[in-house]
Amino acid sequence: MAEHLVGPVDDFPPGTHRVVRVRNLEVGVFNVRGAFYALPNVCTHQFGPLCAGNVSGTTACDASTGWEIAWVRDGEIVACPWHGLEFDITTGRCLAAPKVRLRSFPVTVEAGQVKLTL
């Protein structure tokens, strides 16, 4: 495994993401409220460009919401632009099928630069 510089931290403001190419792999690098995450730019459904999708939240209805439908996890969910399959950016888990999980890559910030380890 090796570290790869993917750009200055200023290119990844909180609430944004970019798709970068490292060697022959496209990776989405996400800044979720100051924490960095990286997922492969491939949806497990039909290999669509997952990280080109919209980032938003999702709905929940459980004890934590008082059993009312509520909008939760804003900025933590990416939806594939082809068919809308949603993934948790922080874990790589598919919301519709929690046993399906994308590989996530370590991301660090050092001297103002975002580094991805592949």
Q: Where are the domains of the chain?
A: 3-108
How much of the chain, in percent, has pLDDT values that exceed 70?
Answer: 100
* Nearest partner of 93 among 78, 108, 71, judged by Cα: 78
pLDDT at 1 over 90: no
- How many CA atoms within 13 Å lie on the side-chain side of 29? 28
Instruction: Give tens-digit pLDDT for 27-80.
Output: 999 999 999 999 999 999 999 999 999 999 999 999 999 999 999 999 999 999
CATH architecture of 3-108: 3-layer Sandwich (2.102)
51 contacts: CB under 8 Å, gap ≥ 6: 17, 19, 26, 27, 28, 30, 39, 40, 41, 78
